[in-house]
A and B are shown apart, each in its own frame.
Chain A
Amino acid sequence: MYIHKRRSNKEIIGGSITKRRKIDGRNQNEHCEATENRVACYRVLDDHGYPIAGTTFDQVDEETAVRMYKSMASLEIMDSIFYEAQRQGRVSFYLTSTGEEGISVATAAALSPHDIILPQYREAGILLWRGFTIQDFANQCFGNEDDHGKGRQMPVHYGSNHLNFFTVSSPIATQLPQAAGVAYSLKMDGKDACAVAFTGDGATSEGDFHAAMNFAAVMEAPVLFICRNNGWAISTPISQQFRSDGVVVKGQAYGIRSIRVDGNDALAVYNAIRAAREMVVREQKPVLVEALTYRVGHHSTSDDSTKYRSLKEIEEWRRSRNPVTRFRKWVESKCWWSDEEEAQLRGTLRKQVLKAIQIAEKIKKPCLEDLFSDVYEQVPSNLRQQEKSLRQTINKHPQDFPSDVPLH
């Protein structure tokens, strides 16, 4: 049915709006359930690692590409060994990035080291890129005295102020409004850097996600929001998480420029993040990037995802849609990588990770004093008293307390 639109001469709050004469109509905007007309997805490499004809993208030089591939492969290997270590009871908990290596590594490669990262928990690839050593990862997982976090957080809750990576905090989406604050701080200082906040598909249901997007838009804060839409929030598939066309449309709702990218295509992610970051810093406005991917692993070591999804689905993504393999094919096609180098990388890295675990296991745990320090800037008298009281109890009943925690 033809709808006759007339321009209104009067200004309505929010700008002048064209009027319509009927309620019913074939207006597309009303049919927004995620079935038709989905937002297009930016992609560069096809499933076999060949650039798709007609795609616009910036080439990555050999050094960067090889480094990216090595980081992605390292992350994959490190994850599988730590996961096994947890299964053997050597580490209490672990969370892998399996299937999502492309997102964290390609993002890290595209950003500046001054950009401040506010992670959710599946972004270890960024730390790997920025220089966190395998030993650092192991130390945190074992919570020993060399851990930067002094053994206070669960495994995979890494943090490093030197590498501009905020300590992971377990509650979901709390880092998103904090990112607005970081961006606010950078904006005040006029720095050539932005805040980069990660979130998953599940976290977009949290109130903090919406408020953070709104804040960033209203305050014109330089935040780059990256949503790893991996299809699952523990056992909740995205069809039960939201009914919109993914997360990219939500950015649009807040007046934020948004793009959807194939998260398993490291080259596409690299390009998209590069462009997004430049936009964020130059225009001091937020941008949302939705990276479509798949969580190949279980949510964590406390989960068995075969209980709620088919093995066939998992295997298909692991085999034929693996981001590491896809990127490897591209790098090999440029003759920048070979089978020999692959074998050598895997061999060396495996040994390195196993060794790091062995060493981390043997390093002393943080001493008792560290139970009470850093609660405040300086230890207050009431905590000193509690420490004293605890020591007295330990002295009286040493057999009832763990023997591997140093008292001094």
Chain B
Amino acid sequence: MAATILHGVGATTALSSINYNNSRRSLPERKRTSLVIQCDGSLSSGLNISNNRGAKLSTNAVATKQENVTASTTSKPGHELLLFEALREGLEEEMERDPHVCVMGEDVGHYGGSYKVTKGLADKYGDLRVLDTPIAENSFTGMGIGAAMTGLRPIVEGMNMGFLLLAFNQISNNCGMLHYTSGGQFKIPIVIRGPGGVGRQLGAEHSQRLESYFQSIPGIQMVACSTPYNAKGLMKAAIRSDNPVILFEHVLLYNLKERIPDEEYVLSLEEAEMVRPGKHVTVLTYSRMRYHVMQAAKTLVNKGYDPEVIDIRSLKPFDLHTIGNSVKKTHHVLIVEECMRTGGIGASLTASINEHFHDYLDAPIVCLSSQDVPTPYAGALEEWTVVQPAQIVAAVEQLCQ
């Protein structure tokens, strides 16, 4: 396979040299190869795949089933699959490509994983490479770290992200730190992934938003997938990265269907996705809330608004380039997240945007989050803790007054 060029963290592009406060600087030419798909913030570029996607809005925001959305940039028809299958496809391609890639977690082997992401892999690669572990999250995460330090590229699956709270010690004190504290002698190319977020009456302990807890840990990267297309691309990128990456999936998005390209592609871990370009307001979101936002966008368009929707995808670090360009254009920001109000991704993003783009804002940033309550089991109560499209519409209307 010819060199698959990845947009690494801190790689030498114009990105790192941009002075965010210089409004006169024009958007840099972004390099594009046939294999790495980057999202160009520029509106005039016809090469932007996401632009195509923006043309068809999803009608059902509560995403268990979804109509087909075009995502392919090439003339080939591609193939349709569900999000969990896309994750599996990415995983399988990487396992095929590199014998060091292995999977460990509870029930990932012959059972195929609780959400079937690893189905069939144990049969194909054996139960050493797709390893069933006993129930001890801190320990199998630690095991993954030890294996990574010795040259393997493990993917650790948490059956639910919430259980990874048990692995916090290993993730924070070891995974994030050992490359640094060893003076660069040991690297930890581990991927930690699993479903999180609020599901359908799964109870408080199974509805955690771990991204808020992990975002502070130095040394790790965090990405959140939301479509089959980006799920596969981010999975592959995460596996290939030499940094520890936490890949956040969402319990309710596993059955999303989409047509994705046949040929191989890897996405960038540090880039946001332009879902719908617009000019009135920048709406920043990720994971499941993307669909609530897009449903709200449909209503907003009918009311005459033109929201720009960006799926931030990269939770750590934020893609301030894409976000910044959008803020400079619209001057209004609405963040829609599933995290709790206190200490969530929205809180950090608000601080970050205020710090860098304060001069471009015509109004204070509005952040819609879940309340600071454990997620209740009762269905109606649970629904009220999650930001709904109606709230998003109201927030945009108020912001754009």
Q: Which residues from chain B contact A207 at a C-beta distance below 8 Å? A: 136, 138-139
The reply on A153 being an interface residue by CB < 8 A is yes
Q: Which residues from chain A contact B141 at a C-beta distance below 8 Å? A: 177
The reply on B146 being an interface residue by CB < 8 A is yes
CB proximity of A119 to chain B, nearest CB, Å: 12
The reply on B213 being an interface residue by CB < 8 A is no
Query: Residues of A at under 8 Å CB distance from B?
Result: 116, 118, 147-150, 152-153, 157, 159-161, 166-167, 169-171, 174-182, 184-189, 195, 207-208, 211-212, 214-215, 218-219, 373-384
Q: Tell me the bound Cα distance from A332 to B82 in angstroms.
A: 74
- A182 lies within 8 A of B317 (CB): no
- B143 lies within 8 A of A377 (CB): no
- B174 lies within 8 A of A180 (CB): no
- A185 lies within 8 A of B317 (CB): no
Q: Tell me the bound Cα distance from A150 to B9 in angstroms.
A: 22
Q: Which residues from chain B contact A153 at a C-beta distance below 8 Å? A: 181
- Starting from the known contacts A377-B242, A377-B243, A379-B10, 5 additional A-B residue pairs (CB-CB under 8 Å) come to A149-B182, A177-B142, A215-B140, A378-B10, A381-B10
Interface size on B, residues (CB 8 A): 53
Q: Which residues from chain B contact A182 at a C-beta distance below 8 Å? A: 146-147, 149-150
The reply on B173 being an interface residue by CB < 8 A is yes
Q: Which residues from chain A contact B181 at a C-beta distance below 8 Å? A: 149, 152-153, 157, 159, 167, 169
- A147 lies within 8 A of B186 (CB): no
Q: Tell me the bound Cα distance from A174 to B15 in angstroms.
A: 38
CB proximity of B100 to chain A, nearest CB, Å: 8
Q: Tell me the bound Cα distance from A193 to B364 in angstroms.
A: 60
A116's partner among B133, B139, B150 (CB-CB below 8 A) is: B150
The reply on B380 being an interface residue by CB < 8 A is no
The reply on B347 being an interface residue by CB < 8 A is no
Give B170's nearest chain A residue, CB to CB: A174
Q: Which residues from chain A contact B243 at a C-beta distance below 8 Å? A: 376-377
CB proximity of B201 to chain A, nearest CB, Å: 30
* Known A-B contacts A153-B181, A374-B183, A384-B16; A180 and B11 likewise in contact (beta carbons under 8 Å): no
Q: Tell me the bound Cα distance from A185 to B189 in angstroms.
A: 14
The reply on B278 being an interface residue by CB < 8 A is no
Q: Tell me the bound Cα distance from A207 to B154 in angstroms.
A: 22
- B16 lies within 8 A of A381 (CB): yes
- B10 lies within 8 A of A180 (CB): no
- A384 lies within 8 A of B10 (CB): yes
Within 8 A of A (CB), among B99-150: 102, 128-129, 131, 133-134, 136, 138-150
- B180 lies within 8 A of A174 (CB): no
- A219 lies within 8 A of B131 (CB): yes
- B131 lies within 8 A of A167 (CB): no
